[in-house]
Structure formats: C-alpha cells, structure tokens
Amino acid sequence: MESKKTIIQNAKSTLELESQSIMNLIEYINDDFVRATELILKSKGRVIVTGIGKSAIIAQKIVATFNSTGTPSSFMHAADAIHGDLGMIQSEDIVICISKSGNTPEIKVLAPLLKRSGNILIGMVGNLNSDLAQFADIILNTTIEKEACPNNLAPTTSTTAQIAMGDALAIALLNERNFKSEDFAKYHPGGSLGKKLYLKAGDVSIKNEKPSINKDATVEQVIIEISKNRLGAVVVLEENHILGVITDGDIRRMLEKGSDYKLLTAKDLMSINPKSVDKEELAVVALDIIRKNNISQLLVTKDGEYFGMLHLHDLLQEGII
C-alpha cells in the first residue's frame, strides 16, 4: 500500500510542479511577447523553429501548431543547422530558437550565425544570462524553478513551459489573424476533426437510397421498403412533400398491439412532424439532433422537401462520433 501511495504522490507532485510552471509564465507575457506576435504577423516569410534535444521535439510540435492555425512554419534541427541546413532560412524568415539553458554547444554556435544573417531571432529560453538570450532580438522567457525529475535533470517542467509558451504564441497569432473554423477546416481535411468542420448532412445522406412510400401503401409494402434500403425507416410522401415517417420500431409496436395490419396503411402507422435537418447543415449538427431526440434516423431536406435520409451508423462510419 505504501508503494501505491508513493506512486500517486509522485504523479501529483509532477503535475503540480508543471502546472505551476505554466502559471509562472503569465508573469513573463510582456512587451517582448507582443513584439514577437506583431513581427510574425507582418512577416512575409516563414517562422523557422529550432532547438536541440528535447527542445527540438517541442519545436516540431510548435511548428505543427503554427501550420495548422495559419502561420507558415518549418522545423530546423539546431545540430543540422550548423552542418548545412542554415541554407533553408530565407531573408524574410523569422527564427525561434528554443533552449532551456541557452548555452548548449550547438546553440552557442548557431545563435551568432543567425544574428549575422540578419534574420529576426526570437529566443525561447529559460536562462536570461545565456548566450542565446544575449544574441536574441526578442526573448520569450520560459524560466522554471526546477524540473519535476527528482534529480532536477530530465527535461520535464522546462519542456512543459516551452510547449505552453508556444501554444500561447500560436493562439495570439490565430486571434490576430481572425482565423475562423472555416480556415481551420482547410488545414484539417482528413480525420474526424476535419469532417466535423466541413462535412454536411447532405454529403452523408447522398450516399444512401431515398426510402419513400405513398400514404396508401400497405403494411407489407412498408416493410419491404424499409428492409430494402437498410436504414430502418421509410418516408411517407405526397408529391415529394413529407407527410411523416415510419420506422421499424413503429412496425414492431403495431404488431405488439395485435392490430389487424391488413386493414392498415402507411398513413395509419406514420409519425407526423419527423425530425429533419437541412442538407447544408454540418453533419455534426445532424448528430446533435439525433442525440437530443434519442433517434437513429434523421431526414435530410432541401428547401423543405425530402432530399434523403441518414442513419446514426452513417455518422459513425464517417468518424463524426
């Protein structure tokens, strides 16, 4: 039991230290942060993000976030930079160099080279007396008190601070660019995230048949139509005007009541005012309607008329859920 308590306490202590490192960053958001944001916004080039070791991994994450939120960016490993990759930097590019100490051998060589090239150098650094801090035009301060590692060695708290500062800069840029969900969708066309932002109800329903029947159809005809289209429902139409919908659940309930189904027609079974969504609405809106009403099928309309039908399983297959 003591081991269990120790494990939990160590985990909590790590999270407390790392969360405090993020809270401390609030005090470091200053005029340099504003200047960095403004210069990146005005730049006609890219943001080149570089680092060594764990800071290089953080740099790659920041690049990914920048690119997905409207700030063109590229990663450059600091070790590779001093062995030829400096050639990737163009005159209008802005460089963000990430380092906890600011004094690693690669950074000591790289910082003056970047300065000499005339590019704006932003140092995301945890040591304000370091070589990187001295060469940087702008400093994003990521100083921490100590690492979560009990030996104060493994980058933990420091990398948390770096990634949080990168996120803060990315979101500041996003907001200044007035970057909307529609823009976000352009950069995320694949996967469930992108589909939630662009896939429309009509895009999903168009893949299905359009089960329909007239109001005087027999129960047998209703059952055949429901079974044939495998959507679990059929729409009752009159000149493409929706009168109602019949689900397989309606059929079961009718049989449970012991009704003489030979005397019934579609209009006797249908539910009027079925739930629907316009074809131009996002598929995620259709999902919300399905969930709120605890239903499996949803009618899709165009100008108020029957356009198609989608099923909860369709949204599952598209990865919306």
Residue 190 confidence (pLDDT): 59
For residue 295, give every residue at least 6 positions away whose Cβ sits within 8 Å of its Cβ, in sequence order, or none. Answer: 275
pLDDT tens string 16-54: 999 999 999 999 999 999 999 999 999 999 999 999 999
Residue 51, H or E segment: strand 47-51
Residue 204 confidence (pLDDT): 92
**What domains, with CATH codes, occur in the chain?**
2-179 (3.40.50.10490), 201-317 (3.10.580.10)
Residue 73 confidence (pLDDT): 95
Query: Which tokens in the block code for residue 84?
Result: 């030829």
Phi/psi zone of residue 235: left (φ > 0), alpha (ψ -120 to 50 degrees), beta? beta
Distance of CA 167 to CAs 18, 121, 140, 233, Å?
A: 15, 18, 12, 47
Entry pTM: 0.67
Q: In degrees, to the nearest 5, what angle opens at C-alpha 116 toward C-alphas 114 and 121?
A: 40
Residue 147 confidence (pLDDT): 94
Q: Which residues pair with 141 in a beta bridge?
A: 125
Residue 235 confidence (pLDDT): 96
Between CA 201 and CA 308 the distance in angstroms is: 9
Question: Which residues in the chain show pLDDT less than 50?
Answer: none
Query: Which tokens in the block code for residue 301?
Result: 């309309």
